[in-house]
């Protein structure tokens, strides 16, 4: 597919907030820990993080998502405003999803972040135009409704028929991938939820059958990934990393897989690239460390 470049990311964009600090005392009335905040960093989450990671690796990105017209939605849009990311946003409703992580103590979630009425109609034409120029597609589903839109799914079905590679990163609350997706990337828990089998290779095979996917790569954390296509299962081990943070590793894996397919790499080679990229991402501290590094140099996160 000569003349094509970049990755088209489709999915639910969220706003993540990482709050760091010290806990050295408790409240006198209820004995609750008191967090003295030392830093607070906002970053794109969900499909927004997948797009930001691809852009940081030098890949041109077009992001199709739903954005709410609220303060958090404006902050999210600002975080995604950089030369290598084009945002094609339709209307959202229910408030931007904001996930606030409190220094390893708790996470506070608010907002629904669902596509509003008319979302599909708004983005259908620019989406089809973007599908004509992209070298690969990543569907980054976070269960908020973008991946379920019928107009988007129809456009993706047509793109697959034309030979465009599509990676589908699923969510338990989201829809099944469109049939014949190039590679679906459930984690092991998600695969077991579909297949009811514990072994990764058996689960991957049954997920592939249930979703009518061309291939399935089940991610298994520090163990790597299991790839099932037409032949025998392929175990792709992950390099060992010490410490680190797995937050965002699935986005790093799926995005790197789409980027490798965009470059024309064979399927198994693409999965190997994605496993190594995700392991490196975890070893460097995950999504929080990625955002802090970007903020330190004054770049969008």
Query: What does the pLDDT look like over 187-232, one tens digit per residue?
Result: 999 999 998 878 999 999 999 999 999 999 999 999 999 999 999 9
Tell me what pLDDT residue 43 has. 95
pLDDT at 295 over 90: no
pLDDT at 209: 96
Indicate the pLDDT class of residue 296, thresholds 50, 70 and 90: low
Determine the pLDDT at residue 3.
81
What is the three-state SS of 5-51?
CCEEEEECEEEEEEEEEEEEEECCCCCCEEEEEEEEEEEEEEHHHHH
Mean pLDDT of 245-260: 96
**Does the pLDDT of residue 238 top 90, yes or no?**
yes
Could you say which of 169, 201, 251, 269 is catalytic?
251
7-21+33-296: in CATH 3.40.1190.20? yes
pLDDT, residue 298, reads: 59
Per-residue pLDDT tens over the stretch 82-140: 899 999 999 999 999 999 999 889 999 999 999 999 999 999 999 999 999 999 999 99
Domain ranges of the chain: 7-21+33-296
Q: What is the pLDDT of residues 134-185, one digit of tens each?
A: 999 999 999 999 999 999 999 999 999 999 999 999 999 999 999 999 999 9
Is the confidence at residue 299, as pLDDT, over 60? no
Predicted confidence (pLDDT) per residue in 30-67, tens digit: 999 999 999 999 999 999 999 999 999 999 999 999 99
Cβ-Cβ contacts under 8 Å for 208 (sequence gap 6 or more): 184, 215, 216, 228
At residue 243, the pLDDT reads 79
The answer to whether the CB of 171 falls within 8 A of the CB of 294 is no
* Residue 251 annotated in active site: yes
Structure tokens at 49: 């993080």
Is a pLDDT exceeding 60 seen at residue 263?
A: yes
The pLDDT of residue 230 is 92
How far is the CA of 65 from the CAs of 124, 145, 202, 217, 241, in angstroms?
A: 11, 10, 33, 24, 33
């Amino acid at each position: 597919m000569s003349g094509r470049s970049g990755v088209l990311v489709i999915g639910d964009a969220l706003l993540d907030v990482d709050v760091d600090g010290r806990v050295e005392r408790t409240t006198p009335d209820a004995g609750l820990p008191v967090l003295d905040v030392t830093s607070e960093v906002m970053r794109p989450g969900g499909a927004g993080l997948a797009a930001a990671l691809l852009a940081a690796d030098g890949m041109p990105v077009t992001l199709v998502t739903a954005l709410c017209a609220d303060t958090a939605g404006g902050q999210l849009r600002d975080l995604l405003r950089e030369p290598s990311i084009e945002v094609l946003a339709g209307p959202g409703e229910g408030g931007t999803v904001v996930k606030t992580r409190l220094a390893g103590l708790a996470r506070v979630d608010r907002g629904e972040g669902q596509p509003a009425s008319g979302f599909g109609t708004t983005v259908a034409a620019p989406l089809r135009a973007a599908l004509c120029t992209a070298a690969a597609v990543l569907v980054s589903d976070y269960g908020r409704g973008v991946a379920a839109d019928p107009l988007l799914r129809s456009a993706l079905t047509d793109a697959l028929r034309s030979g465009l590679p599509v990676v589908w990163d699923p969510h338990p609350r989201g829809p099944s991938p469109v049939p014949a997706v190039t590679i679906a990337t459930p984690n092991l828990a998600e695969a077991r939820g579909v297949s009811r089998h514990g072994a990764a290779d058996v689960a991957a095979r049954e997920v592939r059958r249930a979703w009518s996917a061309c291939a399935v790569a089940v991610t298994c954390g520090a163990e790597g990934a299991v790839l099932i296509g037409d032949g025998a299962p392929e175990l792709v081990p992950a390099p060992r990393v010490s410490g680190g943070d797995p937050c965002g590793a699935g986005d790093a894996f799926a995005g790197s897989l789409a980027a490798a397919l965009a470059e024309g790499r064979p399927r198994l080679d693409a999965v190997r690239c994605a496993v190594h990229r995700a392991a490196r991402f975890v070893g460097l501290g995950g999504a929080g460390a990625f955002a802090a590094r970007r903020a330190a140099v004054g770049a969008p996160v």
